[in-house]
Amino acid sequence: MGKYLMVGAGLSGAVIGRHLAEAGHDVTVVDSRAHIGGNCYTERDADTGVLVHVYGPHIFHTDDAEVWDYVNAYETFLPYKNRVKATTGGAVYSLPVNLHTINQFFGRTMRPDEARDFIVDEQADTSITDPQTFEEQAMRFVGKDLYEAFFKGYTMKQWGCHPSELPASILKRLPVRFNYDDNYFFHQFQGMPENGYTTMIQAILDHANITVHLNTVFDRSQAEDYDHVFYSGPLDGYFDFELGRLGYRTLDFERFTCEGDYQGCAVMNYGEVDVPYTRITEHKHFAPWEDHEGSICYREFSRAAGPDDIPYYPIRQVAEKALLGDYVALAEEADGVSFVGRLGTYRYLDMDVTIREALDTARSFLSHVQDGTRAPAFFVAPL
Is residue 91 located within the same domain as residue 31? no
Is residue 21 located within the same domain as residue 45? yes
Could you say which residues of the chain have pLDDT below 50? none
Q: Which residues pair with 73 in a beta bridge?
A: none
Q: Tell me the pTM.
A: 0.96
Domain with residue 65: its CATH number is 3.40.50.720
Burial of 371 (0-12, 13-18, 19+ CB in 10 A): exposed
Does residue 119 belong to any structural domain of this protein? yes
pLDDT tens digits for 67-103?
A: 999 999 999 999 999 999 999 999 999 999 999 999 9
Task: Please count the structural domains in the chain.
Answer: 2
pLDDT at residue number 74: 98
Domain final residue, candidates 108, 135, 170? 170
Does residue 329 belong to any structural domain of this protein? yes
From residue 357, give the alpha-carbon distance in Å to each of 24, 40, 352, 364, 381. 21, 17, 9, 10, 11
Is residue 68 located within the same domain as residue 12? yes
Residue type, 381: A
Is residue 239 located within the same domain as residue 318? yes
Containing domain of residue 112, as a range?
Answer: 84-170
| Catalytic sites, residue numbers | 173, 177, 249, 279, 300, 348, 350
Is residue 224 located within the same domain as residue 319? yes
81 half-sphere exposure, CB direction, 13 A CA radius: 10
Is residue 67 located within the same domain as residue 140? no
pLDDT tens digits for 290-334?
A: 999 999 999 999 999 999 999 999 999 889 999 999 999 999 999
Does residue 15 belong to any structural domain of this protein? yes
Does residue 263 belong to any structural domain of this protein? no
The answer to whether 59 and 303 are in contact (CB under 8 A) is no
Does residue 382 belong to any structural domain of this protein? no
Domain final residue, candidates 135, 170, 205? 170
Report helix angle 197-205 to 11-22, nearest 10. 30
pLDDT at residue number 169: 83
Is residue 8 located within the same domain as residue 37? yes
Is residue 48 located within the same domain as residue 118? no
Is residue 223 located within the same domain as residue 365? yes
Is residue 219 located within the same domain as residue 334? yes
> CA–CA separation, 315 vs 304, rounded Å?
9
> CA–CA separation, 103 vs 381, rounded Å?
43
Is residue 101 located within the same domain as residue 220? no
> CA–CA separation, 138 vs 266, rounded Å?
25
pLDDT at residue number 174: 61
Domain final residue, candidates 170, 198, 232? 170
pLDDT tens digits for 60-73?
A: 999 999 999 999 99
Name residues whose C-beta falls within 8 Å of residue 237's C-beta, 6 or more positions apart in sequence: 343
Does residue 379 belong to any structural domain of this protein? no
Does residue 77 belong to any structural domain of this protein? yes
Is residue 200 located within the same domain as residue 133? no
Task: Cite the DSSP H helix spans in the chain.
Answer: 11-22, 65-74, 99-106, 112-118, 134-141, 144-146, 153-159, 197-205, 235-238, 318-333, 341-344, 351-371
